[in-house]
A = this chain, B = another copy of it.
Amino acid sequence: MSLNVTVWNEFRHEKKNEKVIAIYPDGIHNAIAKPLKAAGFNVTTATLDEPEHGLTNAVLEKTNVLFWWGHMAHDEVSDEIVERVKARVLQGMGLVVLHSGHFSKIFKTLMGTTCDLKWREDKDRERLWVVAPGHPIAQGLGEQIVLESEEMYGEHFDIPQPEELVFVSWFSGGEVFRSGATYKRGLGRIFYFRPGHETYPTYHNPEIQKVLENAARWAAATPGSVPVYGNAKPLEKMPE
């Protein structure tokens, strides 16, 4: 059965900035969606300016994995929709948070920290080294992915210690960054993946696309077991 993937994008830079338009004429969401479709997933997109940001209950209910790209308009995402997305993650929807999504409401509320970091928009080369070669998200990759130009993100990255650290980035300017990190929250799986600044053609890179495909598969929930909460009768004879 094919996974239902929803790619969410704030879709603002691509309407205003000539440089971004040149790289992503159909929007970052469609660039992300394309290889996921090619991998056989059922992919739809949703953007900030749609009603309910395109994330209605009906959409979320059938989504197995949600990708999230946002940057300049984090504050315009309604708190109500954020709570809705969070509830779905805790019920088992996978979430893949991309690049500047580190400062999105949804990521910050799931992490509980500031998610702050160091950054530089210049001509840095980035090398994403695989530090967990047996991880499903590293499947089919070489030992590193090289991006000739990307925005730099540097440590300290204020996140909870990752449950699994999959990638660590090297930047030509002298910084390092924990670039691929997994978490579980409730029944849901979360993957944060660093690269993808809007002024670089990162999502056209086949190795980056492979990571996104792997991440979708990894983040999709297994049905698991169903937890029970609330008041409970004793299962055994109680002390007198």
Contacting A142 at CB < 8 Å: which of B123, B133, B143, B226? B226
Which one of B111, B129, B224 contacts A175 once the chains associate, using CB atoms below 8 Å? B129
Contacts of A86 in B (CB 8 A): 112
Q: Cβ of A229: which chain B residues have Cβ within 8 Å of it?
A: 116-118, 156, 158
CB distance from A72 to the nearest CB of B (A): 16
Q: DSSP majority for the A interface?
A: loop
Rounded to whole angstroms, the CA-CA distance of A127 and B157 in the bound complex is: 16
For A169, give the chain B residue with the smallest CB separation.
Answer: B176
Copy tally for this chain in the complex stands at 4
Interface size on A, residues (CB 8 A): 81
Interface string of A89-128 (1 = CB under 8 A from B): 0101000000000000000011111101111101111010
**Is A132 positioned at the interface, with any CB of B under 8 Å from its CB?**
yes
* A51 CB-CB contact with B under 8 Å: no
A-B contacts, 24 of them at CB < 8 A, read A86-B112, A90-B113, A119-B230, A120-B232, A127-B175, A127-B235, A129-B155, A129-B176, A133-B156, A134-B186, A134-B189, A135-B222, A148-B239, A155-B227, A156-B228, A156-B229, A158-B229, A160-B185, A161-B164, A170-B176, A173-B233, A173-B235, A174-B235, A176-B176
Contact B158 A186 (CB under 8 A): yes
Q: What's the Cα separation between A178 and B143 when bound, in Å?
A: 15
Bound-state CA distance A84–B175 (Å) is: 31
- Distance in angstroms from A229 CB to nearest chain B CB is 4
10 nearest A-B residue pairs (beta carbon): A174-B235, A173-B234, A156-B227, A134-B187, A141-B225, A174-B236, A110-B112, A138-B225, A116-B229, A134-B224
CB distance from A150 to the nearest CB of B (A): 11
* Interchain CB contact under 8 A, A239 and B112: no
Residue of B118, B125, B141, B163 near A232 (CB, 8 A) is B118
Task: Return chain B residues, CB-CB under 8 Å to A135.
Answer: 222, 224
Hey, which bits of chain A sit against chain B, CB under 8 A?
86, 90, 92, 109-114, 116-120, 122-125, 127, 129-136, 138-143, 148, 152, 154-158, 160-161, 163-165, 168-176, 178, 183-189, 221-239
B160 touches A130 (CB 8 A): no
